[in-house]
A and B are shown apart, each in its own frame.
Chain A
């Protein structure tokens, strides 16, 4: 069922494309040796190249180029063996050169595709138009002083990948799914950390609306949206604004807008008339970027397994449902954790424990897989204790909680707390006798046909045994005594 918005004049469809700026993971900047690390003291990671001193020249960083190629390969995209850097000219205080080095006409990566799975389980292909490398600008700080602005050039020259999608997105959900998937692929590839809080991934959202069967209407670009949720909100808010405008007899004008998440609305930043003339031209300081096909093939051969392939393999090898497989594959770290946990164990049970009590425990303590106090082997030991009947499932939940709180090994907790399950039939029989004697009325009802009460008896026996009774033996004993 296609997503549409109802207006006073009928049904509208959203047309959306995203331009994602993803900061490349690399030790140094795109054209200089200065560190690209986040969070350093202002202006402590600035070379003379980054500050555009006279006579300074850019030299391409091969690692940034490799990261762009890896990303292109991960997006199933065409790798352009010949690409070129251009200058995008404009004046701003945090742009020391007076131009940004970018790739305008000949990007390093051409068309590709990202496959997204929507909530209803349907799968959609979102086209990627291109990916190009460019420099980030510095940062202007306007809030440090009443009359002056400050400039931090640490980010100046850091490598960005601009990934442009086709206008294939038709709903806020699709926009969110595309961005989520893109972020996941980049993180798997290790080419961008996807950290939207720190600005290492941000999106420009192009939105227009149309009625069924129409061509494209004028679009607006909502700049620099910095979370997936805000992107989804911005798509809807901007679409609704445009629908209202059209239905009011007005006309959407092409312009750049900003999204205000607190008021859930977009507002105009600059109109097309005020748009810069960037005077793009090939950067004469840089030769065209020519890639060796063998080098590209080598990068391709060393690419990690990507989410789609891993999901398929998890379903095939571990018998997981598509939903479970997707959840586990969401992050590389959780997928790795799961594989280590599932190897040599009941894979389905491993998935249930991991996504159930283990995730709940991490959530409860505000942690993630990366900061988990329990390793995959540690959780595996717990599952092994269940498998060899040292503890039962109920006790295991208690042990897991203690593991998360203390970081202690499962076997140690079981021993310390004396949680080994009781398999001594004498002790079980005694507990069963006691429970049946104390509940003679229920025994009578059971025998009269209220078979549901069996569970009650099991529960009472387990309670009497402080949860440690072997469930199978308890069942067996109860059945014998009640028959």
Chain B
């Protein structure tokens, strides 16, 4: 049963050869068995999941199933879920039970999805390793060949990616501010898409950096991601940055092929010291696309090299302001103080972890009087230039192909000495967020140690369909069938 993909499970449910209760109960059992080791879930909602499964079975019996009816999935614990603890991976929201449902999760519920629980993440989605969660690190279901030391699943959607890879969910919601969907998808050998900024509503998603945050799915296949995104996406008048654009049939786009498409290779992504394995996989990916009828074109994105630096100004700046509301006054953790200032200081000192504090301080600094022009304003100018680079490139090509991350999953405790080393994980993914473009990561091969590597497809704004078409060809060509060591049904 755990071998079924989301779309296969959907077909089985509709054919009534499998019930949602059976499927959901199996996943809950797998979570109970494996989650103590992997820690992909912060909260598991057994009873609610089974109740939704029964309701889904009743709907399936009428033959009127929605796109996600009866499919058990995980929800990143950054999405507010009505009546269910929502922590954002932080102590400061350790007791926060939202009285409302985020638009994205409401859309999934409307389409019949079954929520298994809330997936672990880096605190407030700030991290590339899932080491910053207040609820313990997530362990990557993959291990290096002959080496059992725990690896990170990537971040920030590490719990979502690990849950899908370990078969503790058929898919999961995730969010991506600088690579938080694509990098963990690559580290865990699964597929994930960050859609165009504005495609999915941000309403009810705990904010990290509002101009960059975007929700998307992680799942086992390109097709599964397309099905999930079709449910999650859509215009929402409650989010002023949501785009009033119809949601196309993403799943249908997976079958389009790449014949006649022009695929760009940004030369600036060929970093000094890029591992030969990743470079080789990249070339392989280009060859697959060429074989499938695409034309490969060299393009230049000259401002890429400033992307990471600019991102680490813009994102913390917005975060420093977005996180001001966690003050102990109205909800969440409150640490006592003799006066208001002490209450703030004690609450935030106790409630936030080190990485969150670091980013709040960076953000506060770059926005402060006398530094604003040199940092924030300049970063915004760089951002405009990055977007211009992409816009110009997309005059000549239909999509870009790059590696997703500069390395495979690393060990827990590695890269922890210097935050900048950690930030370098996002070097290939960050420019996509800065430009508000869609980006898809597909598992394409293994490194010498047997760990999965991903390739990233970047597209024009609101052209996720081309991403799904290209991703499906890569997926077929790669024939990536290797499974992680820690998984349900193993």
Interface residues of A (CB under 8 A from B): 48, 51-60, 87, 89, 91-93, 96-99, 149, 151, 277, 279-281, 284-287
Contact = CB atoms under 8 A, between A and B. Distances in A.
A237 B331 CA distance: 44
Nearest to A286: B240
B207 A58 contact: no
Interface in B405-456: none
5 contacts: A54-B96, A56-B204, A279-B321, A285-B207, A285-B210
Given A54-B86, A277-B369, 16 more contacts: A54-B98, A54-B206, A55-B80, A55-B202, A55-B204, A56-B204, A57-B240, A59-B238, A91-B324, A93-B327, A93-B329, A93-B340, A284-B209, A284-B210, A286-B240, A287-B240
A98 B240 contact: no
A52 B239 contact: no
A57 B203 contact: yes
Contacts of B203: 55-57
B100 A48 contact: yes
A354 to B, nearest CB: 50
B237 A59 contact: yes
A93 B337 CA distance: 13
B329 A57 contact: no
B327 A57 contact: no
Contacts of A91: 324, 327, 344
A454 B324 CA distance: 85
Contacts of A97: 324-325
B243 to A, nearest CB: 10
Interface in B304-320: 317-318, 320
Is chain A's binding surface mostly helix, strand, loop or mixed? loop
Contact of B321 (A48, A54, A87): A87
B145 interface: no
Contacts of A56: 203-204
Contacts of B367: 89, 279-281
A63 B327 CA distance: 32
Given A91-B324, A98-B324, A99-B324, A57 B202 contact: yes
Is chain B's binding surface mostly helix, strand, loop or mixed? loop
Given A48-B100, A53-B98, A55-B102, A285 B240 contact: yes
Nearest to A52: B325
A53 B329 CA distance: 11
Nearest to A59: B240
Contacts of B210: 284-285
B372 interface: yes
B96 A96 contact: no
Contacts of B240: 57-60, 285-287
Nearest to B211: A284
B386 to A, nearest CB: 16
Contact of A279 (B98, B202, B340, B368): B368
A281 B238 contact: no
Given A93-B340, A284-B211, A52 B241 contact: no
A99 B327 CA distance: 12
B35 interface: no
Nearest to A281: B367
Contact of B376 (A59, A151, A281, A285): A281
Nearest to B324: A98
B330 interface: yes
B200 interface: no
Contacts of A55: 79-80, 98, 102, 202-207
B96 to A, nearest CB: 7
B361 to A, nearest CB: 12
B102 A48 contact: no
B289 interface: no
A272 B61 CA distance: 71
A57 B198 CA distance: 13
Contacts of B294: none
A58 B210 CA distance: 12
10 nearest A-B residue pairs (beta carbon): A98-B324, A284-B211, A284-B210, A279-B367, A52-B325, A55-B204, A54-B206, A277-B369, A55-B80, A285-B210
